[in-house]
Copies of this chain bind each other. A is one copy, B any other.
Amino acid sequence: MSKLNKLTATEAAAGLARGDFSAADLMQACLDRVAAREDDVRAWAYIDPDKAMAEARAADAARARGEALGPLHGLPVGIKDIIDTADMPTENGSALFEGRRPNADATSVAALRAAGAIIMGKTVTTELANTNPSKTRNPHNLAHTPGGSSAGSGAGVADFHMPLAVGTQTGGSVIRPASFNGVYGLKPTLGLIPRGGTLLQSHTLDTLGVYGRSLEDLALITDNLSIPEPQDPQTYRGGRGSLMAALAEPGPSQPRFAFIETPAWDRADDGAKAAIADVAARLGDACAKETPPSPFDRILELHGAVFAAENAHYYGGYLRERPDLLSDKIRTRLQASYDIPARDYVEALNEREVINEAIEALLTRYDAILCLPATGPAPRGFETTGDAAFNSPWTYLGVPCVSLPRLTVDGMPLGVQLVGGRGAEGRLLRTARWLDGFLA
C-alpha cells in the first residue's frame, strides 16, 4: 500500500473501482508522503490531514452503500490557494488575504467535488499568483525553484503528495512548473475550465490548468472541470467533447509538428535549445521549423500590454490602499505598468485575433506546435520562479498547451511543450500521446 500515492489518477480510479484498495488507503499513502516530505518541499498552504481522511472514509462509505459515483470518486486533488474553497482558507499567497475564508467554493472546486474528488488541501501560490517566489522548493533538487505561480500544485504532484492538482496560468504558471517539476501539465483553451471564485489578475489571460502523472490523468480531471460559465465573458463558447473519449480514438499515425522557436529563443539556455532541437531532429520529416508572420515577433510585448492593463485594474486598489501589504517585487512591477496607455492595450487585444488566425492556418498543415516550455530547467536558487517567455505567447492567444516530462538537462527535468488550436484539446492530446510514446 505504500506506493498508492505514486499511481496515476487513472490507475487509482480503476483500483478504487475494482476494490483493490480504499480511498482511505490512497489518502493515507498521500498523507504519509506529505508528512515525510512537506518540511522540505513546502507544497501546501493549508492541509488538514484529519479532515482529508474523514472525507476519504466518507467516500468509501458512499461506495459501500452503492451510491452513484463520479469519475473522480475518492481521488485526492490539490487546489492552488487562489481558488476559493468554502471549507478551507484561501489566502491568495498574500498578506492582504491572511485568514480569509471564502463563503463558497469556486466553480471549479464545486465541479471537482460533484465528480467525487476530495479536496486534499490548498497548494502554495506565489504572492497573488504573480512573480514573487513562494516558499515551495523543487522536489528534484531542493536548492532549485519549483517555478510559479502554481508552485505547490506542480511540486506536490511531482513529489507524489497527490495524483492531481489544479493551477492557473496568466503568464506561464501552469506549464513552467510542469516542466520544472517533471510532471504532465495542461493549460487548456481560455475559459474551458470555469474561473468563478478564482482570484482575477487579468481576465483575458487567467486560465485554469491541471497537473497529473499521465495524459489520461489530464484528460480525466479536465473532463470533470470543463463546464461553460455564461456569466464569464471569456467562457469558452465552442463545443466541449470528452477528452477521455478523444484519447481513446486513434490519433494521427504520423503527426506533423511545427517547431517554433518563438521570440524568446535567445533567452533559452544552450542545454534547453539543444534538447528541443534534438527532439525536432529525431522527428525528421515529421517536423518543420516555422516562424509565424508579424506581429508574432511582438507577442511578448503584446502579452505584456494585456497583462499590465488588466492587472493595473484588478490589483490597482491594493497598490493604492494597502501598498504596505505588497512585496517590493509586486509593488514595483505594478507601479511600472500602472499608467500603460489604453491604446497599447486595445492594439494588443486586436493583434491577438490576427495572430490566432495565423496559428489556426498553421494548424491546418500541422497537428501541433512544438516548442520549449521554459528557458531551461528550474534555475538554482529562489530569487525568481523562472521566465514565462515560452508560455506567455500561448496564454495571450488562449490556445491549449501541454507539457510532457520527457527531457533532462543538467540533471533536472525539462518538458516538451505542444500547442494546439483554440478548443482543440482532443487533437492536441492525441498528438501528445504519439509524441509521449515516441520520446519514452
Give the B-binding residues of A (Cβ under 8 A). 233, 305, 308-310, 312-313, 316, 338-347, 350, 353
A339 near B338 (CB under 8 angstroms)? no
Provide 18 A-B residue pairs closer than 8 Å at the C-beta atoms, listed in order of the A residue: A309-B346, A310-B342, A312-B343, A312-B346, A313-B342, A313-B343, A313-B346, A313-B347, A313-B350, A316-B343, A338-B341, A338-B343, A339-B341, A340-B341, A341-B341, A341-B342, A342-B345, A345-B346
CA distance A353 to B350 in the complex (A): 20
Nearest CB in chain B: distance from A191 CB, A: 14
B353 near A309 (CB under 8 angstroms)? no
Nearest CB in chain B: distance from A304 CB, A: 12
A341 near B312 (CB under 8 angstroms)? yes
CA distance A346 to B345 in the complex (A): 9
Residues of B within 8 A of A350 (CB): 313
Nearest CB in chain B: distance from A418 CB, A: 27
A346 near B233 (CB under 8 angstroms)? no
Residue of B nearest to A306 (CB): B342
Most buried by B among A233, A308, A316, A341: A341
B343 near A344 (CB under 8 angstroms)? no
Residue of B nearest to A309 (CB): B342
A309 near B345 (CB under 8 angstroms)? yes
Residues of B within 8 A of A346 (CB): 309-310, 312-313, 345
Residues of B within 8 A of A345 (CB): 309, 342, 345-346
CA distance A405 to B353 in the complex (A): 42
Residues of B within 8 A of A338 (CB): 341, 343
